[in-house]
Amino acid sequence: MFVQLLPIKGSLKNNLSFKNKIGKSETTQRIIFMVKKSIQILLLLFSIGGLQAQTTYQNPIIRGMNPDPSICRVGNDYYLVTSTFEYFPGLPIYQSKDLVNWKMIGYVLSSPTQDPLIGCESSVGGLYAPTIRYSDGTFYVVCTNYGGQGSQGSFYVTSKSPIGPWSEPHWVNSWACDPSLLFANDSIYYTFPDDKGHFQMATLNLNTGKFNNAPKIIGHGLGASSPEGPHLYKIKDYYYLMSAEGGTGYEHREVIQRSKSPWGPFEANPHNPIVSHMNNPDNPFQAIGHADIVETPDGWWLVCLGIRPKGGNYHHLGRETFLTPITWDENGWPKVENKSIVKVELPLPKLPQHKWEKDSIRDNFNQPSLALSWNFIRNPHSEDWSLTAHPGFLRLNGSSKNFKLKDSPTFVGRRQTAFSVSASTKISFSPQKPNEEAGLVVRADDKNHYDLLITMDKGKRVAMFRQILKGDVVGVHYKEIPEGDVLLCLTATEKAYTFWIQKEGQPSMLLDSAETKYLATETIGGFTGTYIGMYASGNGFANTNPADFDWFDYEIDPEKPYDWSK
């Protein structure tokens, strides 16, 4: 914003000559008064500009892989959970007071008994589509675990606090995905799709963890493929059944039906689909759907998933969480304005703004536990990592396992939450054999990842860049490096990753680059997004030496060109 200072009336020469008539002191006071007034007006204008800058928010509201959002309200707080598939701990819980600024406060499932994942298929197994609800002092999360050894399909867990501790799973002996709960009429309605185009429901007995009655078909999809993600709400005199359909890709959409009875029959909303971008191919957001709604003092709001394709129809960050207001027409039907479009920028909810403290760029690994941003692949083995073996470092003991197994390789990673990021780490690692490796990895799934690793080649310690796509090694590049600690670095843009190595105090060396589209869901399939993290493996044998990571930096929109020598 351009602001022009108000001029002092008359020239300085005139004011100085005028002092002989009004006195030096009075002239000085008048000049000071005019300057102060100008400064006050300037500050006021900046203040107004600042207020204007705070009147809107930008989608998505939770970035990086955070699909299938479900939301509930407790007083002035809002809690949201998303799917995690094979990543552990499972089901992050985010908290907000204004629907726009969110902070991760914990995980629903933080032990292997709660979240068995060993054996689940990469990017399509594990935890699908949770629902979070609150009733009479207790939080409930219902979800489905696919393919983890020990999993039994759908389950629910409970807690008196959103940060836990959460109960062990109550398995409901159902493999149906996307279950949801409604507390109404002194009953707990458990709704789910049956993979045949129908929605079924039973009432749940919390004392036994079982259904009171056999599930009954209450409704069906509205004509598109793969009806899923149902949520049932009781709002005034109606029961509203909201669901996704059209598949999880570019035809994704959200529809609503209603009935006077929770058991149906249901009639369709004339405003359907309530949100969808399937007819807007040029919109920066696509695959909008799988939604949940919540009532606030500012009316009703909808959270949903969506993607941000780049470089054509390629998205690699995964499905993210979006927010849009909904209104109700004179007949009691909900709708999203602007032809069901979720806009990039929208007016802030009329709720007191509450911004959380930003995470620091650097993690020094000097806390007794890992930060909440870090995840493992499936259930980690306790002997593979430590924060105490070398205090102030994250130690990874490379095991015999690697990404080729449906197990837990020695990997600690975090979601990539923006297109433009830099990530770097300082590593101490002395491999003894060619099979031993440790370093930095950009992972889409077990078969598709970019690796910047320290290893041995022809008897020399080297930095290796390796592309593994669809399970095959498609490119390897080595560069000999000196003994001692080194920095491993990457920068990311919408279309490419660039990988660097550096000896502290020396210029950085470019090793290689790779395109983001080869890690995109449109290329490799699945339901997850990219992670950036630290990795160690002996590829069939345990590493001779551990890999010690002194720190890890993660920065969004870094200085360009990024200067690693700083």
Instruction: Name the active-site residue from 68, 320, 363, 446.
Output: 68
Distance of CA 452 to the CA centre of its chain: 24
Asked if 70-274 and 362-556 have one fold, the answer is no
Residue 37 binned pLDDT confidence (cut-offs 50, 70, 90): low
Q: Could you write out the three-class secondary structure of 194-237?
A: CCCCEEEEEEEECCCCEECCCCEEEEECCCCCCCEEEEEEEECC
* Residue from 71, 69, 102, 66 nearest 84 by CA: 66
Q: Residue 509 pLDDT > 70, yes or no?
A: yes
pLDDT confidence of 552, banded at 50, 70, 90? very high
pLDDT greater than 90 at residue 9? no
Query: How would you list the strands of the sheet with 437-445, edge to edge?
Result: 410-415, 531-537, 437-445, 448-457, 460-469, 472-480
Under a CB-based contact definition with an 8 Å cutoff, are residues 532 and 554 in contact? yes
Q: Which residue has the higher pLDDT, 208 or 531?
A: 531
| Residue 49 clears pLDDT 50, i.e. is over it | no
98 given a catalytic annotation: no
pLDDT band at 87 (very low <50, low <70, confident <90, very high): very high
- Distance of alpha carbon 178 from its chain centroid, rounded? 19
Report the alpha-carbon distance of residue 274 to residue 173 in Å, rounded: 33
Taking only the tens place, the pLDDT of each residue in 118-131 is: 999 999 999 999 99
Over residues 128-143, the pLDDT tens digits come to 999 999 999 999 999 9
Point out which residues pair with 140 in neighbouring strands: 133, 158
Residues ≥6 apart with Cβ < 8 Å to 25: none
Say whether 228 is catalytic. yes
Tell me which long-range contacts 362-368 makes (C-beta under 8 A, separation of at least 24).
Answer: 362/551, 362/552, 362/553, 363/551, 363/552, 363/553, 363/554, 364/392, 364/550, 364/551, 365/392, 365/393, 365/394, 365/549, 365/550, 365/551, 365/552, 366/391, 366/392
CA 298 to CA 342: how far, in whole Å? Answer: 18
Residue 30 binned pLDDT confidence (cut-offs 50, 70, 90): low
Min mean pLDDT across 10-14, 98-102, 323-327 is at 10-14
Say if residue 112 is preceded by a cis peptide, omega within 30 of 0: no
Predicted pLDDT at 36: 52
In whole angstroms, what is the distance from residue 31 CA to residue 19 CA? 11
Nearest of 220, 229, 228 to residue 267 by alpha carbon: 220
The token duo for 34 is: 């005019």
Tell me the CB-side half-sphere exposure of residue 154, using CA atoms within 13 A: 24
Check whether 48 has a pLDDT greater than 50.
no
Does the pLDDT value for residue 464 go beyond 50?
yes
For residues 310 and 327, what is the distance between their CA atoms, to the nearest angstrom?
A: 31
* Global pTM exceeds 0.85: yes
pLDDT over threshold 70, residue 26:
no
> Where in the chain are the domains?
12-53, 70-274, 362-556
Compare 35 and 442 and report the one with higher pLDDT.
442
Determine contact, residues 100/348, Cβ cutoff 8 Å.
yes
Q: What pLDDT is attached to residue 176?
A: 86
Alpha helices in 337-379 (DSSP H): 337-340
Question: How far is residue 304's CA from residue 292's CA, in Å, rounded to a whole number?
Answer: 7
Residue with tokens 């660097």: 500
d(CA 51, CA 54): 5
1 band by pLDDT with thresholds 50, 70 and 90: very low
pLDDT at 566 > cutoff 60: no
H helices of 54-93, in order, are: none
Q: Which CATH number fits domain 70-274: 2.115.10.20, 2.60.40.60, 3.10.580.10, 3.40.50.970?
A: 2.115.10.20
Reported as a single tens digit per residue, the pLDDT across 216-271 is: 999 999 999 999 999 999 999 999 999 999 999 999 999 999 999 999 999 999 99
Instruction: Please state, in angstroms and as integers, the Cα–Cα distance from residue 289 to each residue in 307, 340, 343, 356, following that order.
Output: 10, 11, 14, 27
Share of the chain above pLDDT 90, in %: 86
Dist CA 162 CA 139 (whole Å): 7
Is the model's pLDDT at 460 over the cut of 60? Answer: yes
pLDDT digits (tens, 9 = 90+) for 388-438: 999 999 999 999 999 999 999 999 999 999 999 999 999 999 999 999 999
What confidence category does residue 510 fall into, taking pLDDT thresholds of 50, 70 and 90? Answer: very high
Structure confidence at residue 353 as a pLDDT band (50, 70, 90): very high
Burial class of residue 456 in the structure, from the number of CB atoms within 10 Å of its CB (0-12 exposed, 13-18 middle, 19+ buried): middle
What CATH topology corresponds to 362-556? Answer: Jelly Rolls (2.60.120)
Summarised one tens digit per residue, pLDDT across range 398-408 is 999 999 999 99
CB 419 within 8 Å of CB 508? no
- Residue 11 exposed, middle or buried by CB count within 10 Å (0-12, 13-18, 19+): exposed
Residues ≥6 apart with Cβ < 8 Å to 490: 422, 423, 424, 440, 442, 452, 497, 498, 499, 500, 532
Q: For position 50, what pLDDT does the model report? A: 44
Q: Among 184, 180, 150, which residue's Cα sits nearest to residue 168?
A: 150
Of the listed 115, 228, 384, 446, which one is catalytic?
A: 228
Mean pLDDT of all residues in 461-490: 96
Residue owning tokens 């004339």: 270
